[in-house]
Structure 1
Amino acid sequence: MPRDDALIPRSRRAQVSGDYEATVTPLIADRSSIPLSGSLAADVAGAEAAITRFDERTGANLAGFSVIALRTEAAMSSQIENLTAAAGSIAVAEHAPPSNGPHKSNAELIASNVATLLAALSRNSPLDTIEVIELQRILFEDSAPRLTGRFRNQQVWVGGSSYSPHGAVHVAPHHERVPAAMTDLVAFANRTDLGALAHIAVTHAHFETVHPFPDGNGRTGRVLIQRMLRSAGLTRRSSVPLSAGLLTESTRYFDALNRYRDGDVEPIIGTFVDATFHSLNNADQLVDTLSAARLRWTDRVVARSDSAVWPLLEYCIGHPAITIKAAVTALGVSEVAVSNAIDRLVSLGILHQNSPARRNRIWLVSDVLDAVEDFMDRACRR
């Protein structure tokens, strides 16, 4: 609550004064099991199998999807927090220099979420609290660096007013309890004897209950979902944009988090199961659209088998905005070869330049951007 009562409307002061109750999270690192009803256990097994099949199918047939999946995951996770931007704006923001001033566009904030996901999936060591803090730092390093580098040192809450925790939907644990709670949670997250999807769902719900940061808890928590899916071996070649499924039923998702805080674990696990199938169905349509686009491209391109045009086409599937510098690094070919390949794809209408600028040029892949926009639209349909 602000120290100066003058900052609070007189009509609200009585409502935001006095004691309040903050959550005290139980220790879960050593819990014996995650109890599931028979039907939910079967649904969890089915969802895990579906993720594995999807990962194998897309990894074998559309290698570029693993990159585009991370971008759709970042966009959908951000949209759960009411951060929205067009797919093209997000793609450009990944390459453009950060804007001056403290206020960043939604596209820039979402691009930071992409960077956070890439960092999380580059790790293969056990999770620790240092990594959790680092992931949140990457998320906010350009927009609010003052909020990074440590767990929070203040009270936070969800819902209610901005003046005080009184009337909040969830009052997170007192900040002095956060370090111990996160050490316990990380130990729980690293267990390998609790299945996969149910374990991930409970870890996520507990993370959101602890709410260890002053901001970015939702996005950081959903990055950890992807980290754990990879660590559990459910995803190896690709990623599942699970946030798209959570967004489809966001009210149910938030309600399940609240029910977890009341001691009921099944709603959040059931929400993750249904979100898995929603997101996989949506992602399947995205894969089909991108595969069809690739076929159209290859039918239109006439080039030698060793031409840089062919690897650039594959690169375009996962990168809806490209630069010469990024393509040279990714493909391991010369700048001249990449520049010539880009010109060829521009002439065929596969690429178009984002602006007439002659420096820091960015080219967009319209077919991929359209496919991603359609994916995002489907995820928003309740």
Structure 2
Amino acid sequence: MTWPTHRYETQAWNPQQRQGSKADRMLASIEVSIPPPIGDLDYSSSGSIAQSQEAAVIAVARLEAGFGDHLAPLADFLLRSESVASSKIERVDADWRAFGRASVGGKASTDALSQLAAVKALIAMVDATGRGPMTLATLLDAHRLLMAPDFYAARDSGHLRDVQNWIGGSDYTPINALFVPPPPEQVPALMDDLMVFVNRTDVPIIAQAAIAHAQFESIHPFTDGNGRIGRALISAVLRRRGLTRRITVPLASVMLADTSRYFDRLTEYRAGRADEFVEYLASAAVHASEAAEESARALSELPARWKQLAAPRVNSADEAIIFRLLDTPILNADMAQQITGTTDASTYRALGRLTDAGVLELISTSKRNQIWAATDVLAELDALSNAIARRTTSHL
């Protein structure tokens, strides 16, 4: 269908400091991209675009409806997977051991803490939209959580930007930038308009999520963190519309598998080709949901495998820990003792036996805060991302 294109304006460039190359210092004007208001625009599709959206809704609904007793741990697993993949798109990358240490307060790298912050931001957004309308305050709160680990970025977090930003090009000016979003004085009105669009119920769900994300990225309302908050917005729209109630579709893994294609589709949206981005997200939802079903089956088989490896006694501390590992795949001694309800010594012996059996791995040897992980669960994070990548590339 016809969708309005971005318009472009030439504006004076008046930097407060003269830094960079001679070309940076000589820059006098820039061309900014102005997204159209979309709050009241109608969107409809037909043919293959409509069919792709229907297939996506069916795939997500099937994932949401399945797996019974394992739905709660699957929901947590998928949420973690989505946040980690979204972070990797921004080159924020930590292995699962580092991420595991960060998740229970252990010593961790900056990237691991940033990944954990992305999890918290995503939780905040989907929980808030599950209770009521999406608001700008919801986005600002999530952005504050996301930026918390970075001392310098945290000072500007939770606020719409008041400076011009850009993507690519020079570190000092927008010269040769790939994309220059609207000037800061236009951001509040554009975000208010976006909130109108996000809270509508008369737009097809997948299209609404896709367009909301593309519009958000085009506004680029924050100085940093736009990609991760924008991708979390997709999950928030799906939760707001009731397509998901517990699970998070790991869409960022599709985007991570081919970032060039993802960014190209965003560029096409700005040229008025919204259908292409809607179809892209619909296809991503199908691939991600089908791969997530495979991970769900793999996870559901783990408790039986762990019992076979450890051969725990009935009603023992070992059995109690195994029973809870899908829900709590990363734990310290205090968490384990809460699960077992036994003494410190009994809990430590159980943790030791499960480690010797290969059910757990000690991922932090700190005397003050030892941390164990069910390695099979965390390794499945990589397996899911790889499975989605294979599905994505095979359908290009």
**Counterpart check, 1:194 vs 2:203:** yes
Q: Which residue of 1 aligns with 2:123?
A: 118
CA contact (8 A) 1:68 1:319 kept: no
> Which structure 1 residue ranges, 5 or more long, are not aligned?
none
Matched, 1:22 2:32: yes
Tell me the residue number matched to 1:177.
186
**Offset of 1:97 from its aligned partner?**
5.0
Q: Which residue of 1 aligns with 2:67?
A: 58
2:106/2:364 contact within 8 Å kept: no
Match of 1:132 among 139, 155, 179: 139
Alignment of 1:99-110 (within 5 A): 105-110=110-115
Q: 1:97 to 1:294 in 2, by over 3 A?
A: closer
Q: State the secondary structure of the residue aligned to 1:360.
A: coil
2:20 maps to 1:8: yes
* Residues 238 and 182 (structure 1), Cα distance of their counterparts in 2 relative to 1, 3 Å cut: same
Partners of 2:23 and 2:202 lie apart in 1 by 53
3-state DSSP of counterpart to 2:171: coil
The superposition leaves residues 207-243 of structure 1 with CA deviations (integer Å, 9 ceiling, x where unpaired) of 1111110000000111121122222222223221111
Is 1:157–1:168's contact at 8 Å kept on the other side of the alignment? yes
Q: What amino acid is aligned across from residue 376 of structure 1 in structure 2?
A: S
Q: How does 1:1-382 map to 2 (within 5 A)?
A: 2-5=15-18, 7-10=19-22, 12-14=24-26, 17-31=27-41, 33-96=42-105, 105-123=110-128, 124-143=131-150, 144-299=153-308, 300-304=310-314, 309-310=318-319, 312-326=321-335, 342-380=351-389, 382=393
SS of residue matched to 2:373: strand
- Give 3-state SS (helix, strand or coil) of 2:122's partner: helix
Q: Secondary structure at the match of 1:170?
A: coil
Distance 1:77 1:284, change over 3 A: same
CA distance in structure 2 between the aligned counterparts of 1:3 and 1:174, rounded to whole angstroms: 16
Number of residues paired by the alignment? 372
Kept after mapping to 2: 8 A contact 1:317/1:368: yes
SS at match of 1:322: strand
**What is the TM-score normalised by the length of structure 2?**
0.86
Letter in 1 for 2:21: P
**1:119 Cα offset (Å):** 1.9
Partners in 2 of 1:28 and 1:197 — Cα distance?
A: 16
1:77–1:222 Cα contact (<8 Å) kept: yes
- Alpha-carbon offset, residue 60 of structure 1: 4.5
Write the deviation string for residues 133-176 of structure 1: whole angstroms up to 9, x where unpaired.
11000001121211212100000112222222233222111111
CA deviation string 1:165-216 (max 9, x = no partner): 2332221111111111111111211111112111110111111111110000
Kept after mapping to 2: 8 A contact 1:204/1:222: yes
Q: Structure 2: 5+ residue runs without aligned partners?
A: 1-13
Q: 1:18 to 1:372 in 2, by over 3 A?
A: same
Does the CA-based 8 Å contact 1:72-1:241 persist in structure 2?
Answer: yes
Q: Percent identity between the aligned chains?
A: 32
**Quick one: distance in 2 between partners of 1:335 and 1:116?**
36
Q: Distance in 2 between matches of 1:298 and 1:106?
A: 34
- The answer as to whether partners of 1:137 and 1:149 remain within 8 angstroms in 2 is yes
Whole-Å separation in 1 of the counterparts to 2:384 and 2:157? 32
Sort the Cα spacing of 1:228 and 1:25 in 2 relative to 1 into closer, same or farther, 3 A: same
1:18: Cα distance to partner? Answer: 2.1
